[in-house]
Amino acid sequence: MKDERIRVAARWLHEAERVVVFTGAGISTESGIPDFRSPGGVWSRYNQDDLTYQRFRSHERYRKLYWEYDRARFPAMRDAQPNAAHHAVVEIERSGRLAALVTQNIDGLHQKAGSSPDKVLELHGTVHAVTCLDCDRRWNREEITARMEAEGIDVPYCEHCGGPLKCATIAFGQSLPADVLDQAFHHARHCDLFLTVGSSLVVQPAALLPAEARRAGAKLVLINLSDTPYDAIMDILLIGKAGPTAAALLAEFARL
């Protein structure tokens, strides 16, 4: 039965002209990066209430906690390699059909796989940069972590304005980059196929995108390992691991 669904989804991909691919942490677990809500995921190991933007702003001890959390997770992201699902998304782009790649992920694996940076909309930012929360200056992450190691500090501050530095990811309570969010909703409203890969679709506003695409008449395909609140509006549900499932979809697409 799943093969039939793969065949139909591949035909829709072949007929599509403006595809939006929307990804979550589930596309990167096969690359060795834990997701957030699967058993053993990030939120079973860290208290997300301590890692909000408001807490970070409020006190040095929360900034220390946040940097410890971020630095503990960074090596897996730095060393991870894209998997077959990331490469399948690159193939969609190379077919000329990709309108946008909207990701909730901060790991940079789409760009590492070869997705064009100008096609990638990082709704929740990136671990590969650091920003000053007061003057918005931005650094490569390596520069700041090298400075932290050299100076033996665990909470860095801006050399220009003294503001607190934080990795350029969007914490709970922090607003998403407005221009990126606007572009993501624009593409969702103007696509003819919306492919979601590896998201629990529980964090808004990102989770609103599939329904927005449906309202605009797009067909919806979901590749995921577990249920989501939006399963009922998906035209095709491909329950399975992102790597092999996306690879099977693109293999069928290539035969058309």
Q: Interface residues with ligand APR (CB under 6 A)?
A: 24-26, 29-30, 35-38, 41, 104, 124, 198-200, 202-203, 224-226, 241-242
Q: Is 159 in the site for Zn ion (CB under 5 A)?
A: no
User: Binders of Zn ion among 131-150, rule CB under 5 A?
Assistant: 132, 134-135
Closest approach of Cβ 131 to Zn ion, in Å?
A: 9
Closest approach of Cβ 58 to ligand APR, in Å?
A: 20
| Residue from 158, 170, 220, 248 binding Zn ion (CB under 5 A) | 158
81 binds, among ligand APR, Zn ion, none (CB under 5 to 8 A by kind): none
**Is 87 an active-site residue?**
no
Instruction: Choose the catalytic residue: 86, 124, 128, 187.
Output: 124
Q: For 132-157, b where at least 16 C-beta lie within 10 A, e where not — what string?
A: bbeeeeebebeebbeebeeeeeebbe
158 binds, among Zn ion, ligand APR, none (CB under 5 to 8 A by kind): Zn ion
132 binds, among ligand APR, Zn ion, none (CB under 5 to 8 A by kind): Zn ion
Cβ proximity to ligand APR: between 203 and 208 the closer is: 203
| Residues recognised as catalytic | 124
Q: Using CB under 5 A, list all residues that contact Zn ion.
A: 132, 134-135, 158, 160-161, 163
